[in-house]
Amino acid sequence: MGSVIIAAEPINTDLFKISVQIENRTPGTGALTGNAVMLHSLVSTHTILQVHQGTFISLMDPPEALKAVAQGCQNLRTWPVLAGNEGEYDTILSSPIILYDFPQIAPESPGALFDGTEIDEILTLRIMTLTDEEKQEMRQGDERAREILERTEALSPEQFMKLHGVIRNLRPVDEGGEHDR
């Protein structure tokens, strides 16, 4: 059982600081151990917020006038980024992994491995280091985990090398000027 608490704190007449607190309130989880606790955990919780007739700002690259407000935000075990179509500022995705604004599935990703971004390579390497016993446990456990294991084991060397990463966009660092929005 979980709860979600959402609050909006006015900064000025046109600006609000939104906070989202997600809590696991499942009774009795303190006594659980091992894999049993996983069945009652809020592991990998993602939050998606949308606004109508308003905009969110990037916490990674805020406009100069809002940098102090953005720096005053506290993010615990989650990283909010702008999501959706680049240039639209009506959706925020907060994820337990660090992403950039407007994350996209990398075209190099050979399918649904993990999150379809740069983390695929490191997690694929981790899967490749599992012992035969760990792989067998993975096959007998969660269906999604089994699919990821099978897809990882089926990667060709060429597909694996494509996971290494690509530079998509180089741009000069803004040297104190206003950001175009």
Which tens digits make up the pLDDT trace of 79-118? 899 999 988 999 999 988 888 898 876 666 666 555 555 5
Indicate whether this model's pTM tops 0.85.
no
DSSP H helical ranges for the chain: 35-38, 67-71, 119-128, 132-140, 143-153, 157-162
Phi, then psi, of 82 in degrees rounded to 5: -65, 140
Q: Which has the closest alpha carbon to 110: 38, 159, 173, 146?
A: 159
* 89 touches 79 (CB < 8 A): no
